[in-house]
Chains A and B, each alone.
Chain A
Amino acid sequence: MRHILQELWKRRWRLLLGVIALFIVDGLQLIVPLIVRSAVNDLVGGKAASLTLYALYLTVIAVLVFVFRFGWRYFIFGTSRLIEQEVRNRLYAHLLRLPQGYYIQHPTGELMAHATNDLEAIRFACGQGVLMISDAIFIVSFSLAAMLGISTRLTLYAFIPLPFLALVVLKFGRVVHRRFQRVQEAFSQLTERVREGLSGVRVVRAFAREEGMERAFHETNLMNVQANMALVRVQGIFEPTVGFLAGLGTGLILWFGGRGVLAGELALGDLVAFTSYLGMMVWPMMALGQVVNVLQRGAASMVRIQKILATEPEIQSPPNPKPLPASKTIEFRKLTFSYPGVAKPVLRGVNLHVEEGITLGVVGLTGSGKSTLVRLIPRIYDPPAGTLFLGGVDVRELSLAELRRLIGVVPQDVFLFSTTLRENIAYGRPEATEEEIWQAAELAGIAEEIRSFPEGLETVVGERGLTLSGGQRQRIGIARALLLDPPILILDDALSSVDAQVEEEILRNLREVLRRKTAIVVAHRISAVRDADWIVVLSEGRIVEEGDHHRLVRHGGLYARLAELQAVLTR
């Protein structure tokens, strides 16, 4: 709750305007019954003189109510939208700082749920919640004052059902809330059943168990109906009960007030006004239960958002980064690494010295730690302190932005944004010229295909556009990295989805570029690393062989076997 109040406090002036407008609206609306009272009393007395005046008052009030009602909607709901916008911005800015490790533990779906449902709950608490509370306070206190002004005794009579009403609202409200949660639970179970049935559809179909799956679904489906009907049973009573008790108040006034009128103790107009006030108080009473709920949900959501915002990024620039060294030598010293939450290390005691300007090849079987090795260099995951050095300086002591500016990475799964090819290739350098973009595309061996698209570089990729093949995506990824012209280039199995001939061709093109850079080429095909200056072979996180191609083939180990397989495959 504290955080929500903080947000509201930040916008207090705007909010105050809204609340004042609401105050005026409520006040004006409460004058209406007074005018009607005077009119009725005049009519009873047979006087017509003031009727036009009353009508005029009512019209003026109507117009004022219109203006101020618009005002409070604008300011109160507007404030809640403003808070929503700001918290969303803050959330996104923070998400941009969180490292990859965070996203493995918190999948996109989960974070999206926070960004949508939780923000909505917060907005609701700040908008609807504030409105209902202020409105209830104003209306109840105004009406009460007016009613007491008309007749103290009658007010007491009118309030006979009120304790019951409050009791019903609170008591039922709690039961309704509980059953409502049960409904939501049943609904998510239902959703999970459907999701499961469809995700596991191959298994279901392979065993021809569609009927069985339907039976399982039937149960969940039925449970959902039962949970809903359980809610209906209480909610169905709740609202009519409130209606009944509110009506009972009117009935009591009709009886006691009517006797007062008959006895000449109460004017008829007073009675009419009195019932109007009573009617006005029903809504805030009913809202009472809801308010608590809305605020609770908003507060709970705020806590969840705050938890994300309070997560310190595990990978950050040091407070006083060391200047970038001139040398671009990369050195691994006894590096052992395991992913957060996994006990088994992926890399064990890796010692490796990558001279500036050379091309290093990395090979190994699936799961041997190749990709992890290169991911540590730009600190996508953090190497332990004192294990990974750039030009003799621990990478953890360099500015993160400066370090990353030195490195171009092409991963195996190239992620493209659903925008044009131009924007994707120029992602790291939006200011790149047309010529530079084509040059990069040319080098990556994708230029010809781009030219063959009707819209060329303006072709939109992704969900709403063209679906590219894996090989095409990888080559766009290479062009994207090349355009940065970084001193260090990492190709992480970046050509796995193109066939061997194309791979060779692209590598031939790249040879000239790679010569000017420090390059690390991770590959599962020997042909991709054959020409590298130095090759390391990884197995279960260790470097088991290293040397140049010929030496490794002569050695007759894992590398030689991989080379043999390759030879057979391309035969």
Chain B
Amino acid sequence: MMGPHSHAHWEEEQLGKAFDVRLLRRLLRYAQPYWKLFALALILSGGISVIELALPYLTKTAVDEVLVLPWVEVQSPTPPVPDALELGEGRYLVRDADLPEKVREELEQRGAVAGRWLLIPADAREAEVALRHPDLFLTTSQGYAIPEEGLKNLPRDGVWRLRRPQYQYLGLLALIFLAFLLVRFGLTYGQVYALQYAGQRIMFDMRREIFSHLLRLPMSILDREPVGRLVTRATNDVAAINEMYTRALVHLIQDFFMMLGVLAIMFRLNARLTLFLLAFAPVIGVLAFWFRRKARVAYREARKVLAQLNAYLAESLSGMAVIQLFRQELRSLKRFQEINREFFRAQMRTIMAFGLFQPAVAVMQNIALAFLIWYGGRGVLAGVFTLGGLIAFTSYIRILFQPLVRFSEEYNVLQAAMAAAERIFLFRDLPQEPRGKKPVPALRGEIEFRNVWFAYNDEDWVLRGVSFRVRPGEKIAIVGPTGSGKTTIISLIFGFYRPQKGQILIDGVPLEELDLREYRRHLALVPQDVFLFTGNVWDNIRMWNGGLTQEEAEQAAKLVGVHDYILRLPEGYATDVKERGMRISVGERQLLSLARAAAAEPKLVVLDEATANVDSHTEALVQEALRTVMAGRTTLAIAHRLSTIRDADRVLVIHEGKLVEEGTPEELLAKKGLFWALWQLQFAGASDSRA
């Protein structure tokens, strides 16, 4: 019950570095064929960044150029600047942009800046509005002036006519805004599509490569590794790497450019303020760094406990009978609750680490905003800075801080991808099953074992000096008690393993010199447990041999007498054998397996007969099919059936890894040895008890 790796599927996650140059370089090789897609995605994300940055700028322009009135009223005994416009009583109108910083600051301190005004040149078309409402306008040397509050007293159409250029400008800006949105929409879609497509193609390629490689690993490695683990390499691990391509890498690059862009704009708007704001960066940097360590430790700890928890659960489920028989339910429950509580605590620590970081970044963002209002606000009043600029800044801060938050996520993705790559490459670097070079165009079917010794591990000999020879066309039955080494002989004939001592000759040539794949094409295996693959009946008989037609598959099915049965299936040969609710009996599975062997038209047939009982009708069919498949071929059968043994030219009796008896069935029965005893037990006994 407890195999060496029974719970390996719940293996602990090993998390290592997020950047490993060697691994990264190797991973990037898979991305290389799709570099154009990545380049496209990057260009598109450049465009998106530009638009993201331009949208707040549009708002800024709208505020500065359209929404804020351009003239400022200043109370001053003398004109604050040479070309100030006198309103009378020590009040002057100054164009916002004309006021030098120094003067403005001084006025500000005296509280001399009063409000904003609109000025209409006397010769403008809008002047007609002023003429109609003389009580609301002041006449100055440069035209009619109206304070901001005064505008509210004008009728609607008056305001509209007065500010037509601004309305038009605003409309233009709104249209540009809309256009930007549309372009961003298109670019985003293109970027997502290009990236995802590239990612999917890379996964496709990687999976194909890994699967092909796994299929060709030496049998000794495949025996050792639990299937679940190998499957994870080709499925989930590849998906983790995809996350890196489609999310982390691109986001990192995109965020980098975005930050550069934001900084450039901010510097252009106001270098000093930007510099002050940048003072927050090291704080956030340190915070992010500190968090990264803290969160990583917490996260890893939690994963470790989770792996423990799941391993414990899986083990308990497998060993439930022991727990119950030894009445240790309560102890087991207590231990489980302990680990579970430990996991809960580890999770809470993770929640706290993440819970501190993300709000902390937000706090920095808000404090930066406070600083912006306090310092930038003064700047606006001092004329260093436009109001629109300030508003744009509030948006840009957000853009500047966002990547910092995102970075922690990306870091995890990268780390997971690197760990997955490490695991994948570990298998990818294993050498494939060794195979000789000698081509095998045809096979006579002669097998010779010369003093073959074999052990699956170390000195645990399964075969101890087995020698025999099978002549072409001969039918051999192998007989022996369970665990005597019969199946191992078959595995060696197929070249799944190499003997440690001795030699196996095929048609007089050492097996290891043959091109194994070509050699195996002349062989057919009928295993004890029939393995059916997802797919229809045709596929399962042909075993995806492209050279075989559907007709040939049906021919093979007719040959072994399973054709009628297949036709009775819901969709005949097109029936999916693994579909839910499909129940194919043991006997019919055996027949399908025989059809598979017949379709391969082998020179050498190797059978591992099933011990399971089938009903007598099917049994008759199977025996008939066996005879058909074996006819005219060299066959080797681990025999459990009376008929197979009777039909054999020769019987090899194996016991404890040695060939103990050899001869025709009649000879061996007369000898009254092991074969005779086995025969007595299996066949004489069975007929007794059935009678």
B517 to A65, Cβ gap below 8 A? no
- Determine which of A77, A111, A216, A236 lies in contact with B533 in the assembled complex, contact meaning CB atoms within 8 Å: A216
In the complex, whether B470 has a CB less than 8 A from a CB of chain A is no
B370 to A55, Cβ gap below 8 A? yes
- Beyond A55-B373, A427-B322, whether A205 also contacts B116 by CB under 8 A is no
With a cutoff of 8 Å between Cβ atoms, the chain B residues found around residue A251 in the complex are: 174, 177-178, 181
A115 to B359, Cβ gap below 8 A? no
A562 and B682 alpha carbons, distance in the complex (Å): 10
Stretch at the interface among B248-256, B401-409, B618-626, B673-681: B673-681
With a cutoff of 8 Å between Cβ atoms, the chain A residues found around residue B2 in the complex are: 414-416, 418, 462, 473
- Beyond A198-B227, A209-B545, whether A255 also contacts B170 by CB under 8 A is yes
B10 to A218, Cβ gap below 8 A? no
Q: Which B residue's beta carbon lies closest to that of A231?
A: B196
A225 and B34 alpha carbons, distance in the complex (Å): 15
In the complex, whether A385 has a CB less than 8 A from a CB of chain B is no
Residue of A52, A70, A254 with highest tally of chain B CB at under 10 A: A254
In the complex, whether B68 has a CB less than 8 A from a CB of chain A is yes
A240 to B674, Cβ gap below 8 A? no
- Determine which of B72, B227, B374, B680 lies in contact with A52 in the assembled complex, contact meaning CB atoms within 8 Å: B374
B370 to A59, Cβ gap below 8 A? yes
Question: Chain A 522-564 against B: per-residue CB contact (8 Å), 1 yes, 0 no?
Answer: 0000000000000000011000100000000000011001101
B170 to A262, Cβ gap below 8 A? yes
With a cutoff of 8 Å between Cβ atoms, the chain B residues found around residue A414 in the complex are: 1-2
In the complex, whether B524 has a CB less than 8 A from a CB of chain A is yes
B685 to A561, Cβ gap below 8 A? yes
Interface size class of chain B, counting residues whose CB lies under 8 Å from the partner chain: 35 or more
A96 and B333 alpha carbons, distance in the complex (Å): 8
- Beyond A241-B185, A262-B166, A263-B151, whether A92 also contacts B333 by CB under 8 A is yes
- Determine which of A73, A100, A203 lies in contact with B525 in the assembled complex, contact meaning CB atoms within 8 Å: A203
In the complex, whether B216 has a CB less than 8 A from a CB of chain A is yes
In the complex, whether B324 has a CB less than 8 A from a CB of chain A is yes
B317 to A244, Cβ gap below 8 A? no
In the complex, whether B173 has a CB less than 8 A from a CB of chain A is yes
**Docked complex: A44-103 residues within 8 A CB-CB of B:** 44-46, 48, 51-52, 54-59, 61-63, 65-66, 69-70, 73-74, 77-78, 81-82, 84-85, 88-89, 92-93, 95-100, 103
A225 and B196 alpha carbons, distance in the complex (Å): 10
B333 to A569, Cβ gap below 8 A? no
In the complex, whether B28 has a CB less than 8 A from a CB of chain A is no
In the complex, whether A268 has a CB less than 8 A from a CB of chain B is yes
B317 to A214, Cβ gap below 8 A? no
Q: Which A residue's beta carbon lies closest to that of B369?
A: A58
A109 and B370 alpha carbons, distance in the complex (Å): 55
With a cutoff of 8 Å between Cβ atoms, the chain A residues found around residue B360 in the complex are: 66
B310 to A112, Cβ gap below 8 A? yes
A46 to B321, Cβ gap below 8 A? no
With a cutoff of 8 Å between Cβ atoms, the chain B residues found around residue A192 in the complex are: 534
In the complex, whether B584 has a CB less than 8 A from a CB of chain A is no
In the complex, whether A213 has a CB less than 8 A from a CB of chain B is yes
In the complex, whether B25 has a CB less than 8 A from a CB of chain A is no
Q: Which B residue's beta carbon lies closest to that of A103?
A: B320
Q: Which B residue's beta carbon lies closest to that of A380?
A: B321
Q: How far is the CB of B10 from chain A (nearest CB, A)?
A: 7
Q: Number of residues in A with C-beta < 8 Å to the partner?
A: 152
With a cutoff of 8 Å between Cβ atoms, the chain B residues found around residue A199 in the complex are: 227, 531
In the complex, whether B456 has a CB less than 8 A from a CB of chain A is no
Question: Chain B 168-207 against A: per-residue CB contact (8 Å), 1 yes, 0 no?
Answer: 0011011001100110110011001100110011011001
Stretch at the interface among B137-145, B375-383, B418-426, B551-559: B375-383
A401 and B326 alpha carbons, distance in the complex (Å): 9
With a cutoff of 8 Å between Cβ atoms, the chain A residues found around residue B394 in the complex are: 36
A54 and B531 alpha carbons, distance in the complex (Å): 75
A537 and B521 alpha carbons, distance in the complex (Å): 47
In the complex, whether A264 has a CB less than 8 A from a CB of chain B is yes
B680 to A564, Cβ gap below 8 A? yes
In the complex, whether A39 has a CB less than 8 A from a CB of chain B is yes
B655 to A236, Cβ gap below 8 A? no
Q: How far is the CB of B519 from chain A (nearest CB, A)?
A: 8
In the complex, whether A484 has a CB less than 8 A from a CB of chain B is yes
A62 and B366 alpha carbons, distance in the complex (Å): 6
Residue of B219, B234, B316, B523 with highest tally of chain A CB at under 10 A: B234
B362 to A66, Cβ gap below 8 A? yes
A233 and B194 alpha carbons, distance in the complex (Å): 11
With a cutoff of 8 Å between Cβ atoms, the chain A residues found around residue B359 in the complex are: 65-66, 69-70, 73
A194 to B319, Cβ gap below 8 A? no
**Docked complex: B346-384 residues within 8 A CB-CB of A:** 347-348, 351-352, 354-356, 358-360, 362-363, 366-367, 369-371, 373-374, 377-378, 380-381
Question: Chain A 22-37 against B: per-residue CB contact (8 Å), 1 yes, 0 no?
Answer: 0000000000100110
**Docked complex: B305-342 residues within 8 A CB-CB of A:** 310-311, 313-329, 331-333, 336-337, 340-341
- Determine which of A46, A74, A258, A271 lies in contact with B355 in the assembled complex, contact meaning CB atoms within 8 Å: A74
A156 and B59 alpha carbons, distance in the complex (Å): 21
A540 and B686 alpha carbons, distance in the complex (Å): 10
Q: Which A residue's beta carbon lies closest to that of B527?
A: A203
B1 to A262, Cβ gap below 8 A? no
With a cutoff of 8 Å between Cβ atoms, the chain A residues found around residue B5 in the complex are: 463
In the complex, whether A177 has a CB less than 8 A from a CB of chain B is no
With a cutoff of 8 Å between Cβ atoms, the chain B residues found around residue A210 in the complex are: 212, 215-216, 517
With a cutoff of 8 Å between Cβ atoms, the chain B residues found around residue A197 in the complex are: 211, 214-215
**Docked complex: A424-472 residues within 8 A CB-CB of B:** 427-428, 430, 462-463, 467
- Determine which of A55, A73, A109 lies in contact with B354 in the assembled complex, contact meaning CB atoms within 8 Å: A73
With a cutoff of 8 Å between Cβ atoms, the chain A residues found around residue B310 in the complex are: 112, 115-116
The 3 tightest CB contacts between A and B, nearest first, are A212-B544, A55-B374, A62-B366
| A–B complex contacts, Cβ < 8 Å, 29 sampled | A46-B108, A48-B377, A58-B367, A59-B367, A65-B366, A70-B355, A73-B351, A96-B323, A195-B227, A198-B222, A198-B227, A205-B215, A211-B546, A212-B544, A213-B215, A225-B204, A232-B192, A232-B193, A236-B193, A237-B189, A244-B184, A254-B59, A262-B159, A262-B167, A263-B151, A263-B156, A415-B322, A418-B315, A568-B674
Given A40-B387, A232-B197, A244-B182, output 5 extra A-B contacts at Cβ < 8 Å.
A82-B344, A92-B340, A198-B230, A202-B527, A225-B201
